[in-house]
Amino acid sequence: MTDVTPPTDLVPAPRSVEGPMSCGVELTPETTLWAGPGTETTERWLRSALGGALGLPLRPGPEDAPGGLRLRVDGTLAPEAYRLAVVAGRGVEITGGSAAGVFWGAQTLRQLLGPDAFRRAPVRPGLTRGIPHQIIEDAPRFRWRGLMLDVARHFMPKEGVLRYLDLMAAHKLSVLHVHLTDDQGWRVEIQRYPRLTEVGSWRARTKVGHRASPLWDDKPHGGHYTRDDIREIVAYAAERHISVVPEIDVPGHSQAAIAAYPELGNSDVVDTASLAVWDTWGINPNVLAPTDTTLRFFEGVLEEVLELFPADAGPFSPFVHIGGDECVKDQWRASDTAQKQIGNLGLAGEEALQAWFIGHFDRWLTARGRRMIGWDEILEGGLAPGAAVSSWRGYAGGVTAARAGHDVVMCPEQQVYLDHRQDAGPDEPVPIGYVRTLEDVYRFEPVPAELTPQETARVLGTQANVWTEVMEDQARVDYQTFPRLAALAEVAWSDLPAPADRDFTSFERRMGAHYRRLDALGVAYRPPTGPLPWQRRPGVLGRPIDGPPPQR
């Protein structure tokens, strides 16, 4: 028996498909795999993932084996471009402009083989897999195709992060931005400052729902990644051609660090020794003291972060995210220490003091061959030429940054924050923010129309952000992330027309097949018909915002 899957349900959509024709290629236990120089990561992945799912040994064979599978790099193609040729009588050949291009071609091959190819073991052993004769040529629109995972608010164990890297690879996403620190938890082991995880990685209880909710989970919550956990995550990502960008959030969002080391806070204003890891949500007033002592402390943190996240692990691995958002200045206004620092530095006020703080780490990272990236608040006060901006408060920060010559990642809250609710219905669990449907995300355009071609070149790409205040476990993260991440993946990869002209009907039809892949991967996505009974959270207060979101 031969199973032939039609090729028109690919997500994200490729640039061109020639064919298919009724003849094609069959993959059997006798199919061999030839891997040319530079294709080793894809060779390993095909044998472990695809071979394991379909029971195909994919033994090594000669380059000219009839019906074989061949991998090669061709530098005349763009770096992440690929050409997937399924030719009757010859076999399957994946040619990429780089090792990454070959790997993305292999992800397309997996989709052509049907949902069984997304499982971990064969469910139909002995079934011959047929692929119609066709040639697919493809390349990404953006290099930065990202997902931000907030593991600080609710900790995601290492196995969950590795799983999300596999899900990202299946959607041709290239950057995992991991939010490692916040008021509610510190998630990365720092050897020289052990209390960051001994104290800062656990909170005594957790607010359930929005901060105005009366509900609490009185069970302690926490966890952290050891140094070897981080090394494993980075290596696992690199095998999948995904760059991992760590975020150490300063000078706001820092109560977990202050709880561990009270001298980091504004102790002349508040009793920092009495602070614990924060157990609720919102913007926290307890921010870092703007002192040389604080700078030296976080230089020590970042020295270890640079070791754990090496610059050569992927195209965007030189980046380190330093947050820089939502730093409330009230304590600095009341602090004699902060005010003396303003005077000593000759600064205009508290906003300039934050710019000094951020500028220090901008220069510090640059001196070590790294690039700083931060939320769009870091634009206030000026940046070093190599710094980049995550534009989250709409498009305006990204426009300002691009016009000033800085690279930009577009991730506006109103469009691609996946913690926002997916429907206005009463059964939507813990409804946060604006309604952002699958179609809304599909019609998101990362490049503002007002940018010139030169400024447009500064847009590295886009990412979806998954903040986890109201996502207590993996199933909730899955529900908020999928299927909308599939839409974002197509926006980031495919060469789509203007938002109003995009064929959402076609995408929705292709998603009909893609849901079967997500099922095989065990993803607890939101069904098109609405949440399943166990996905609802009746009685848990959210923070819905009515009406359409602002577009700028």
Q: Distances in Å between the alpha carbon of 15 and those of 72, 78, 139, 294, 490?
A: 20, 13, 7, 50, 11
Distance of CA 451 to the CA centre of its chain: 25
Residue entry with tokens 């970042």: 302
Cα atoms in the 13 Å half-sphere on the side-chain side of 436: 31
Catalytic pick from 182, 376, 469, 478?
182
Distance of alpha carbon 549 from alpha carbon 316, whole angstroms:
30
Catalytic pick from 26, 40, 74, 326?
326
| Secondary structure letter of residue 272 according to DSSP | G
Residue entry with tokens 């006020």: 349
Distance of alpha carbon 136 from alpha carbon 12, whole angstroms:
13
- Known active-site residue 307: no
Cα atoms in the 13 Å half-sphere on the side-chain side of 489: 25
Element (H, E) at 433: strand 432-433
> Dihedral of the CA atoms 228, 518, 488, 107 (nearest 10)?
70
Q: 487: closest CA among 144, 140, 13, 7?
A: 13
> Which amino acid makes up residue 537?
R
- Known active-site residue 326: yes
> Which amino acid makes up residue 390?
S
Residues with Cβ within 8 Å of 508's Cβ and at least 6 positions away in sequence, in order, are: 438, 439
Element (H, E) at 68: strand 68-73
Q: Distances in Å between the alpha carbon of 256 and those of 57, 124, 434?
A: 49, 50, 29
- Known active-site residue 182: yes
Distance of alpha carbon 66 from alpha carbon 88, whole angstroms:
9
Strand 185-186 vs strand 181-182: parallel, antiparallel, or unpaired? antiparallel
Catalytic pick from 133, 154, 253, 514?
253
Distance of alpha carbon 204 from alpha carbon 201, whole angstroms:
10
Q: 291: closest CA among 353, 347, 346?
A: 353
Strand 32-35 vs strand 59-60: parallel, antiparallel, or unpaired? parallel
Distance of alpha carbon 464 from alpha carbon 193, whole angstroms:
32
**DSSP per-residue codes, 95-141:** EESSHHHHHHHHHHHHHHT-GGGGSSS-SSTTPEEEEEEEEEEE--S
Q: Distances in Å between the alpha carbon of 184 and those of 187, 192, 203, 207?
A: 10, 21, 7, 11
The radius of gyration of the chain from alpha carbons, rounded to an integer in Å, stands at 24
**DSSP per-residue codes, 399-429:** HHHHHTT-EEEE--HHHHBTTS-S--STTSS
Residues with Cβ within 8 Å of 448's Cβ and at least 6 positions away in sequence, in order, are: 395, 398, 399
Give the catalytic positions in this structure. 182, 253, 326
